[in-house]
Chain A
């Protein structure tokens, strides 16, 4: 994720005070700097900048069934998008999906990290277990959950029937499908979020905990009034990254629901995939992906502009 690098660079950029130096020395230094950046810049150029420019180019054209440029249509692809109900549907689905997964994922990981960062025997084991989802690829996790969710032979419905409850059509009922995919996503992302939060907690010095205890602050109050503010940089970073992740979710949708039933899980990236790689319309597909790009950029900008003020770097 190059976005994380950007986040870190931005943060450290605030703390760097550039001092004036003599020009040649400065050049030499920046030259060396660029030299070190060259390999990644080259990679970015090939895998990011070029495709981005190509997407911009393609978005003004229609492509034939083989994906070759067929006809210049100007802004038609964009106007077509904004006039299509599917486009607005996928935007609202994506926003819902983000709302379902990001706060829940952060809270769950925070709770687990808070519970497991105490130094007692056996805690290592729990830390290991809670970090496990990190080791699974999206597709593996999706296949596992598709078995859990299976309408007739699934584990979840088996437990429901054991409790005497009617089975739930997890993935085939439109009112459940997005919730089911979200539950699976929260679980899947919890590993990474948990590890980051745990290391954030462990970097807080013991002296802070000690002095809080001396002043008679209870564990809950300590956590809410002292620990959370100290964790705020980590939480901010995680919320930015999680929102980007949520906006770019694809694998679990593709494997679990294929955007169905009746478009109820048709998130943005899935509709891009449909348009570009099922329908072979690279024109409209590119237009869609550029809209997504602009959207995520705007969101990230807003987060840095407003949410970061609440962040306390110490």
Chain B
């Protein structure tokens, strides 16, 4: 019941806040719950502008000043720690260069939390103008009908997208329309400990590329209390293993030709992958450290495991963490033997423009998006984080060249992105219940690992559960 209490409390608290805001802005903006009411939006925008103004000026002048106030764009994001610092830098650079726009960045917790806050704010005016949503939230964002596709701005602006990476745009393109602008994009790579490879008599310049080779390498690496590998039980990896075999995760062209109605988790691709993964753990050449990539990362940096899977977004942290201890190698995500097609799906997140804000505010948000997509901005973002640039032009920037020279590991992810041929499988699956589906998949992997169910059974049950969730979702989206 506590959760229920919370839910009732939130709108009340926000309502209270709104009243306070309106009061201190000396403005009678009525806080109605009518989404999409433009007049109301304008009133609230001025209320906001006024509140900002009262911080520095007296009320009466604020009323006359508000016409010349810069347009305020509220950006919700989920970048914390080092990534958060990089974001703050980007925003302050933009604000300095654009006096007519004021972007205010708000960290709203992890992707899940931020999306939940957005859902709670959708029927009021308290939400952002621009939000960063993880890739698997895309279908929800489209179905919510609460956003303006960036394609509208691209068309109005005749904005040139030819320099942007086609493979990245592919994920966020539905019915030939780009719905959101990719911002931070990643894919999974195999990290391995070159020193351990040498000690085990393996060639550190020839990392394993197939399931079979991974097993052989892991066998050689497992000795003296060290383990060959550990892959976190993370649904994202399963999705990537599917794409890497050119297999689709959902029916209807991965939910891209029409809304998906069925999960294909229990197809051959899934069984092959889980059988291999379980075999690694059963034959004691890989450790099961649970669901958190943080835990596998710690073990990898402590030199306790020889190989691990992780996002490219962790590259900087891993390379820096291993400094002075061992040399980090990076390689493509492994494939089953004899598979040639397929590639990786773009992970990370993209930026969505909400449609319940004034046209001016949406335009300002678009201006900020364009700035973030510029080669120089993407170059800075890339070298500070490990996310790869969304524009090919960024590779011409000197800082990127220098970075590639000193950290050749950064090249792996980029090569893997460029080696991927776009198909429904590598565009990535689209479903509204993705966050739940991920957890169901993780549960199934766990069940198979500890022998509660055999591999096929675990995947069958999970596929059935996801299919049911999809059915319910499709019933409620009109």
Contacts and interface: CB of A to CB of B under 8 A. Distances in A.
Interface of A: 46-48, 50-52, 54-55, 62-68, 70-71, 150-153, 169, 171-175, 248, 250, 258, 260-263, 269, 272-274, 276-281, 285-286, 289, 292-293
Contacts of A258: 291, 439
Given A262-B446, A273-B3, A65 B435 contact: no
Contacts of B5: 47-48, 51
Interface stretch (B87-95, B406-414, B470-478): B470-478
Nearest to B435: A278
A68 B119 CA distance: 10
Contacts of A293: 1
Interface of B: 1-5, 7-9, 12, 112, 116, 119-120, 122-123, 140, 143-144, 146, 233, 287-291, 295, 298-299, 302, 304, 432-433, 435-436, 439, 442-443, 446-447, 449-450, 452, 469, 472-473, 475-478
Contact of A65 (B8, B302, B443, B477): B477
B8 A51 contact: yes
B289 A152 contact: yes
Q: Which 10 pairs from chain A and chain B are nearest by CB?
A: A172-B290, A262-B446, A70-B476, A261-B446, A64-B476, A51-B8, A152-B299, A262-B447, A51-B4, A151-B289
B1 A289 contact: yes
Of B7, B140, B144, B304, most buried by chain A (CB within 10 Å of CB) is B7
A65 B122 contact: no
Contacts of B140: 65
A256 to B, nearest CB: 10
A153 B469 contact: no
Contact of B3 (A50, A152, A260, A289): A289
Contact of B436 (A70, A248, A260, A278): A278
Given A62-B476, A65-B140, A262-B446, A250 B2 contact: yes
Contacts of B12: 46
A47 B8 CA distance: 7
Nearest to A58: B4
Given A71-B476, A153-B298, A260-B442, A279 B450 contact: no
Contacts of A263: 443
Contacts of B476: 62-65, 70-71
A278 B2 CA distance: 16
A156 B8 CA distance: 41
A292 B1 contact: yes
B8 A279 contact: no
A255 to B, nearest CB: 11
A244 to B, nearest CB: 10
A261 B302 contact: no
Contacts of A277: 3, 116
B144 A51 contact: no
15 contacts: A47-B5, A65-B140, A65-B144, A151-B287, A151-B290, A151-B299, A169-B289, A250-B3, A260-B290, A261-B233, A261-B450, A262-B443, A278-B435, A278-B436, A289-B1
A276 B144 CA distance: 17
Given A47-B9, A66-B122, A152-B304, A279 B2 contact: no
A250 B120 CA distance: 21
Residue with the highest number of chain A CB atoms closer than 10 Å, among B4, B12, B146: B4
A257 to B, nearest CB: 8
A160 B478 CA distance: 56
B282 to A, nearest CB: 14
Contacts of A261: 233, 290-291, 443, 446, 449-450
A173 B449 CA distance: 10
Contact of A279 (B288, B436, B478): B436
Given A65-B476, A277-B116, A150 B295 contact: yes
Nearest to B447: A262
Given A48-B5, A55-B4, A261-B446, 20 more contacts: A50-B8, A51-B5, A62-B472, A64-B477, A65-B143, A65-B432, A65-B473, A66-B144, A71-B476, A151-B289, A151-B295, A250-B2, A260-B446, A261-B291, A262-B450, A263-B443, A276-B3, A277-B116, A279-B435, A293-B1
